[in-house]
Amino acid sequence: MNRPPSFTRRRWLGHGGALLAAATAGAPWRPAFAEGRPEQLRIGYQKSASLFVHQKSVGSLEKRLAPLGVAVKWFEFPAGPQLLEGLNVGAIDVGYVGEAPPIFAQAAGAKFVYVGYDPAAPQAEAVVVPKDSALKTVADLKGRKVALNKGSNVHYLLVKLLEKHGLSYADVQPVFLPPADARAAFERGAVDAWAIWDPFLAAVEKQTGARQLADGRGVVNNYLFYLAERGYAERWPQVVKALFDDLTEQGRWVTANVRQAAEKIAPLQGLDVDVVERSLRRYPLGVQPLTPAIAAEQQKIADAFLELKLLPRPVRILDALPAARVAGAA
């Protein structure tokens, strides 16, 4: 199995906007087409991308990019894998997804770079069962049908939870459904359990009384990643930098004003304010460029999926990191 070179010998940029900072701070990497500007920034988001939804609701990114003459277009996707399909075919320029989708997309040949991540949110994903279910523990899932979105963050959650409780992935019957269809199957009893993330998790708990068998704490990290199509990021790092700066500023505001943010976001997500607030409190915000440690964690997930034969070929996370490095780095 191919593995990335040791991260201990590499000092990837760990502060500021990785792409623009490297292009302007004397780093050896410089985008070949950094001059000029694009007409627009097309953002792919999903309901779980509450910070993107907040930015959309207040128009903060539009205001920040206006001096550059760049318009912002928003495109909603049901989940991360579908969003990355859009990125791969050139329908969007940036997106926000969980840990697993970028790995599956990279294995499929998608050309993107990681431009940032939010802190771990293991409590924001869980395996749930109906409130009157006889299932009490993850071990009870043996032989049962579990709904999940294939290639999403909860795909890895399910693998690791089963492993922790003495089961293998082959011990359950995965039923691959996007969130809306999975919710319908869950409610009509067509599946025994559902591996899902917030805000869908918060919604099914509040609206149906669904019980958690386990969330991700002590099992997975559940980092959330900001990705950009590689060509776009290399041509227009100033736009990526503006996005990064606005994410940082708006993330601080949301963290300090959770209830108020929930009231702004809820109408756009089509959810109750209380559901959105619960979800926001389980998703710590604080976008940062990738560190060697986070990239190494992604590599572990990629290797685990390869071992399960869920990937068609090995994936090197290093290949999806920005080419920017601190000047003089080894």
Euclidean distance between CA atoms 250 and 162, whole angstroms: 37
pLDDT in tens, 127-178: 999 999 999 999 999 999 999 999 889 999 999 999 999 999 999 999 999 9
- Identify the weakest region by mean pLDDT among 119-128, 156-165, 315-324: 315-324
Q: pLDDT value at position 194? A: 98
pTM, two decimals, is 0.82
Q: pLDDT value at position 171? A: 98
Give the Cβ contact number of residue 19 at 10 Å.
28
Look at residue 141 and give its three-state secondary structure. Answer: helix
Q: What is the mean pLDDT of residues 51-56?
A: 94
Higher-confidence residue: 2 or 133?
133
Beta strands in 177-257 (DSSP E): 193-197, 211-215, 224-229
Give the Cβ contact number of residue 173 at 10 Å.
13
Contact 182, 90 (CB under 8 A): no
Q: pLDDT value at position 327? A: 26
Secondary structure percentages of the chain, helix, strand, coil, to 5: 45, 15, 35
DSSP single-letter state for residue 288: B
pLDDT in tens, 29-48: 233 334 567 899 999 998 87
The identity of residue 303, as a single letter, is D
Average pLDDT score, the chain: 86
Assess whether pLDDT exceeds 80 at residue 246: yes
Contact 111, 89 (CB under 8 A): no
